Amino acid sequence: MKLLVYSTKKFELPFLEKANGNRHKVTYIADALDSETAIQAVGYKVISIFSGDDASSIVLEKLWELGVRYITLRSSGHNNINIKTAKRYGFRVANSPDYSPYAIAEHAVGLLLAFNRKIILADKQVRTYNFLQHNLMGFDIHGKTVGIIGTGRIGSVMVKIMHGFGCKIIATDLEEDNDLIELCGVTYVPLEELCSQSDIISIHIPLTYDNHQLINRNKLELMKRNVILINTARGAIVDTKELIKALEKNTIGGYCTDVYEKEKGSFFLDNSKNGLKDKQLKKLLSFSNVLLTPHQAFVTKEALANIAEVMISTITNWEKGLLCKNELGLELIDS
């Protein structure tokens, strides 16, 4: 099949080419999918998109008119595509759900350790030959209460890692995981209770209509004054405006994140020459108790290899007329 890959990153190209092995005719472009770049899909039956691409209803309409019939997502999250609209038109859509929960959970822990032990600041200091420690104090993670929002594939890995640190784990989810309760002593509590009791809170849920800005002013006001909030899920799960207010008032200890509410136009780009236009993002970056990375949690060799393999195998199955276990919207009825 002819495949057009949008938002191709240089570092993922070798993994994509290896997984394909000349099975499909592939064109790679750096452009993100939106209403203007959709025209580049002329002549392609299948496209692959990334989490920052726009597959809204308007874009899907254009893609359908251009002859596109299959869409693969090189991500687990799929909030950037209107699944109901896609199924109404007749698109086949699939994501990459299990590429590496370890990559995301380990990055969350990395953010926590770097923030708590002031590792980035310490590195900057010693490179100027300043070996003082007076502003590098952190705290023992051992014995702290860690709240995990979402104990699915990624959240369960995070639970096990923090259990290894000797933490008390509390969690909230739509379904309780009995294995985590038995093996890691997890206690499931309502979200409000998790917010008020946790020293560290880590978010591991997909972005949906129901949990958009789930961490809002009310939830932030419940949190401990020194709490560390970690987000490696989706930026829009946290209300950024209210988060900034909490940071300004010093009512939370810090925010560690790999994602941002409005990444389009800033993330996945080198803005070092022209600067940022997003004033809210600039404000967020102005706080010394904010640690932000550029949506890089998935960037491990294992994760990239798995994403590529899932994408190619999905397309191959579609070419054979088969269904895929990672296909989205199968429960929806076309109208």
Length of the chain: 335
Residue 334 Cα distances to 66, 82, 87, 263, angstroms: 20, 14, 6, 31
Distance CA 230, CA 93 (A): 30
Provide the 3-class DSSP secondary structure of residue 40: helix
Contacts of 161 (CB under 8 A, 6+ apart): 105, 106, 109
Which residues pair with residue 46 across a beta bridge? 3, 70
Paired tokens of 171: 């969690």
Residue of 234, 248, 309, 327 marked active site? 234
Whether 263 is catalytic: yes
Decide if 169 contacts 148 (C-beta within 8 A).
yes
Residue of 24, 295, 309, 331 marked active site? 295
Residue of 12, 106, 261, 263 marked active site? 263
Provide the 3-class DSSP secondary structure of residue 68: coil
Amino acid 335 reads S
Whether 78 is catalytic: no
Whether 88 is catalytic: no
Sheet strand arrangement including 290-292: 187-188, 168-172, 145-149, 200-203, 228-231, 254-257, 290-292
Residues marked as catalytic: 234, 263, 295
